[in-house]
Amino acid sequence: MRTTRSIRSMLVVLLVTLSIVGAGVTPVAATGSGVAQTQTQCSFPFSATDATGTEVTIEERPERVTTLNPSAAQTMWEIGGKEQVVGLSQFASYLDGADSRTNVSAAGFGVDIEKVVGTEPDLVLAPNAISNETVTKLRDAGITVFRFEASTSIEDIEAKTTLMGQLTGNCEGAATANAWMNQNVEAAQSAVESSEQPRVIYPLGDAYVAGGDTFIDAMMTAAGGTNVVAEAGQNGYPQLSDEKVIEFAPEVVLITSPQGASILDSEPYASTPAGENNRTVMVEVNYLNQPAPRSVAYTVSNMTAGFYPDAYSEDQFVTKSEVEASQANGTTTNETADSTATDTDGEAVDDQTTAPSTETETSSPGFGVTAALAALAATALLARRRR
């Protein structure tokens, strides 16, 4: 099994390498809906148009980067930019070394403009959940800000990771992170491609659920599940009546803490196939709710193992060290990104999380890891506020 994955890793690297052989560094064509490009540029100055329609130019590799949401911080950790980060939100506290960075969160929710300015950043990475007004205030204070589009698919996450690597001078790390993410998605899909898909729902609390056109739905699908809310044509994070939950008949309920299983003891979930069969799958809330490569690698693997315990096991997880070893046998790790994000509220739950994680970038996916401290009701409140 390990040998097969190593061969697959080298093939991926070889294909990426062949796609760029003979090409020089070229400018990136940027659009208001994301970055469209045929060649990864990892040199400065670098320019791209962000979600506000502003062309942002980075003159040289930023030494000081402040992230305003946990997925951006997680991505910086994953692509090799950890040492550049000087400020982050309170919800990124689970990252190793986060306590030595400035917490730029405001009391309650949102970011504190003065704290952000106080970090003296060369670049601020802002999620779509940050308002244009906040971005304008930071720019008026002389801060360079890049606001990202929402990520509603794994392809969006891949494109955003590549772009973040370009903005911060970590292109090789971004390519490695994307290869790691994609190989684990491939491993999960290959393991269950002939299996019957379970019907899945993810309750956020207060009757809110994760629907279609969200990165959570994308991970459910990649893990071989059918999101019953998306199947019914409901996108974003809608509220469902008890009748609708029963009508959708989920067979599996995603939870983010052991206490979350109690949802099956009361209506409407007690009257669903999931309730009747007492079937839940627990995933780490930091990863389920944050669109970033590590989130996808772990969450898809954990969900697949929960959905298909007889078809997918921990030894099928591809570690990041395996990907790095495969790339070490190649000649380059630069990667092409040609997908763009869609401006929706798909990243609305990015800033929900508070719980620390003990997983590392080279560990197994952590099946059965005790997840978040955040209760479902608090999650729902944040989801409403983040939209």
| Other Cβ atoms within 10 Å of 344 Cβ, number | 17
Check whether residue 140 and residue 202 sit in a common domain: no
Query: Could you tell me if residue 387 is inside a domain?
Result: no
Query: Could you tell me if residue 28 is inside a domain?
Result: no
Domain boundary residue, one of 290, 316, 342:
316
Q: Where are the beta strands (DSSP E) in the chain?
A: 29-31, 34-36, 46-49, 55-58, 65-67, 85-88, 102-103, 123-126, 145-147, 199-201, 203-205, 208-209, 226-227, 252-255, 280-282
Q: What is the CATH number of the domain that holds 205?
A: 3.40.50.1980
- Helices in 37-131 by DSSP H: which ranges? 70-79, 113-118
Check whether residue 140 and residue 85 sit in a common domain: yes
Rounded Cα distance between 182 and 155, Å, is 9
- Nearest residue to 200 (alpha-carbon basis) of 234, 231, 225, 236: 225
Q: What per-residue confidence (pLDDT) applies to 328?
A: 85
Query: Could you tell me if residue 350 is inside a domain?
Result: no
Query: Could you tell me if residue 172 is inside a domain?
Result: no
Query: Could you tell me if residue 209 is inside a domain?
Result: yes
Pull the structure tokens for residue 72. 């951006």
CB contact at 8 A, 84 and 66: no
In a 10 Å sphere around its CB, with 0-12 CB exposed, 13-18 middle and 19+ buried, how is residue 290 labelled? buried
Check whether residue 122 and residue 207 sit in a common domain: no
Check whether residue 132 and residue 205 sit in a common domain: no
Pull the structure tokens for residue 165. 């690597």
Rounded Cα distance between 375 and 373, Å, is 6
Give the helix/strand (H/E) hosting 288. Answer: helix 285-288
Check whether residue 203 and residue 308 sit in a common domain: yes
Query: Could you tell me if residue 104 is inside a domain?
Result: yes
Q: Which domain holds residue 255?
A: 194-316
- Nearest residue to 111 (alpha-carbon basis) of 134, 139, 133: 134
CB contact at 8 A, 160 and 275: no
Q: What per-residue confidence (pLDDT) applies to 349?
A: 55
Domain boundary residue, one of 288, 316, 344:
316
Domain boundary residue, one of 129, 149, 169:
149
- DSSP bridge pairs for 122: none
Check whether residue 73 and residue 128 sit in a common domain: yes
Q: What per-residue confidence (pLDDT) applies to 73?
A: 98
Q: What per-residue confidence (pLDDT) applies to 314?
A: 85
- DSSP string covering 131-143: -HHHHHHHHHTT-
Q: What per-residue confidence (pLDDT) applies to 327?
A: 86
Give 10-residue mean pLDDT values along the chain (387 residues).
Answer: 40 31 30 38 93 97 97 97 97 96 92 97 95 96 97 96 98 97 96 94 96 97 97 97 98 97 97 98 94 97 96 92 87 33 36 32 34 36 37
Work out whether strand 65-67 and strand 85-88 pair parallel, antiparallel, or are unpaired: parallel
Check whether residue 293 and residue 217 sit in a common domain: yes
Rounded Cα distance between 328 and 13, Å, is 10
Check whether residue 120 and residue 207 sit in a common domain: no
Check whether residue 207 and residue 284 sit in a common domain: yes
In a 10 Å sphere around its CB, with 0-12 CB exposed, 13-18 middle and 19+ buried, how is residue 261 labelled? middle
Query: Could you tell me if residue 61 is inside a domain?
Result: yes
Check whether residue 140 and residue 200 sit in a common domain: no
Query: Could you tell me if residue 180 is inside a domain?
Result: no
Check whether residue 221 and residue 291 sit in a common domain: yes
Tally of structural domains, the chain: 2
Rounded Cα distance between 304 and 5, Å, is 17
Check whether residue 203 and residue 306 sit in a common domain: yes
Q: What per-residue confidence (pLDDT) applies to 329?
A: 81
